[in-house]
């Protein structure tokens, strides 16, 4: 069965006549059924840690759209919470965390092997999904990449330029690098447990990779990704891994070969034509329709979707957005995107 799943075929390097489709954040606030389930849970974190409800919201977009993959409903900041950081969400503003900015704060964190009791509900959600998904639907697990997770742990929130993390890197490199190392090792353990629970693919989201310049990108985006992938491949050699160093620009080139990733997800700051010439030559790519089209729809959505599918048709490709779908998206536009992709061939 696994060998016939479209996404697994693409990840193995096969060029398919119609690219498989899923969307980042496909279970989310743009769907009325998600909003109802979240209201039942009470708040976002309660939803993440309620395995039954998290399973339900993960399945909702599969029932509605028949995507080729389902991605675990969770959050990249559950791992820092498992490491001992305080985490809460402010309505309309996003996550807040207690900060790690010095050696004393770092010393209070838990070790990589002490995270699993806290994350047990997440592993249960994966097990639930492995039993509940349609036979052709691939189950994707995920985690945040170390640099991106570290930026939140250092700043205590999302920031436009990740300045607090860059500052700590320049002012206290030993603490910064110790934090990157701990997140890296904990991410290996976290994703390994997701795979053992039933995830068929895992993805690393490095949402803020684009703010790393020059050698810092190699040291804190590429190198930790390579370390995570190498460790996971030793334990789970048949599990494909997608890497997403968002807004990497020219640094997308060679990223798959350098890290061992089976697929590189591309944001929409680079064109499909550039991606075909520079990234897809090394294997599977994922992307990269601009998320705004899920809001605006219309002929522009059809034209851009068609252009991406046709431009990337000569190599392995998973159709996706260049970033997550936004809460103001129109569910009808998602269906239009899917219909367009599947009618292109």
Residues that are catalytic: 25, 29, 38, 75, 152
- Which residues have C-beta within 8 Å of that of residue 298, sequence separation ≥ 6? none
CA distance 217 to 305: 30
Instruction: Please classify residue 202 by burial: count the beta carbons closer than 10 Å to its beta carbon, then call 0-12 exposed, 13-18 middle and 19+ buried.
Output: buried
CA distance 226 to 129: 28
- Tell me the three state secondary structure of residue 92: coil
CA distance 51 to 120: 9
Q: DSSP H helical segments within the chain, as ranges?
A: 6-11, 32-41, 44-49, 51-65, 78-82, 103-107, 116-132, 146-155, 163-171, 173-197, 215-217, 223-235, 255-259, 272-278, 293-296, 298-311, 331-343
DSSP string, 309-326: HHHTTTS-EEEEESSPPP
Distances (CA, A) of 92 to 44, 74, 89, 96, 139: 12, 18, 9, 12, 30
């Amino acid at each position: 069965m696994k060998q016939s799943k479209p996404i697994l075929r693409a990840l193995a390097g096969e060029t398919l006549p119609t690219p498989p489709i899923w969307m980042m954040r496909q279970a989310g606030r743009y769907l009325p059924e998600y909003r109802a389930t979240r209201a039942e849970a009470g708040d976002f974190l309660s939803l993440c840690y309620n395995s039954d409800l998290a399973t339900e919201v993960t399945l909702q977009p599969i029932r509605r759209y028949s995507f080729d993959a389902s991605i675990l409903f969770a959050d990249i900041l559950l791992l820092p919470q498992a490491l001992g950081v305080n985490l809460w969400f402010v309505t309309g503003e996003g996550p807040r965390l207690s900060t790690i900015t010095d050696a004393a704060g770092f010393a209070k964190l838990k070790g990589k092997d002490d995270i699993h009791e806290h994350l047990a509900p997440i592993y249960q959600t994966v097990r639930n999904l492995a039993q509940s998904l349609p036979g052709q639907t691939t189950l994707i697990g995920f985690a945040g990449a170390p640099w991106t997770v570290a930026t939140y742990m250092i700043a205590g929130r999302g920031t436009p330029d990740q300045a607090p993390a860059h500052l700590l890197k320049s002012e206290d490199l030993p603490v910064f690098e110790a934090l990157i190392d701990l997140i890296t090792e904990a991410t290996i353990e976290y994703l390994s447990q997701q795979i053992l629970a039933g995830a068929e693919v895992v993805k690393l989201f490095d949402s803020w990779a684009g703010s790393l310049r020059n050698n810092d990108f190699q040291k804190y985006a590429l190198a930790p990704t390579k370390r995570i992938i190498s460790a996971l491949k030793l334990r789970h050699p048949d599990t494909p891994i997608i890497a997403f160093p968002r807004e990497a620009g020219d640094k997308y080139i060679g990223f798959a070969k350098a890290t061992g990733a089976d697929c590189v997800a591309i944001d929409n700051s680079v064109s499909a034509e550039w991606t075909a010439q520079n990234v897809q030559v090394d294997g599977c790519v994922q992307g990269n329709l601009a998320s705004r089209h899920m809001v605006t729809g219309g002929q522009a959505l059809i034209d851009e979707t068609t252009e991406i599918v046709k431009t990337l048709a000569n190599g392995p490709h998973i159709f996706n957005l260049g970033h997550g779908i936004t809460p103001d998206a129109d569910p009808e536009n998602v269906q239009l995107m899917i219909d367009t992709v599947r009618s292109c061939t």
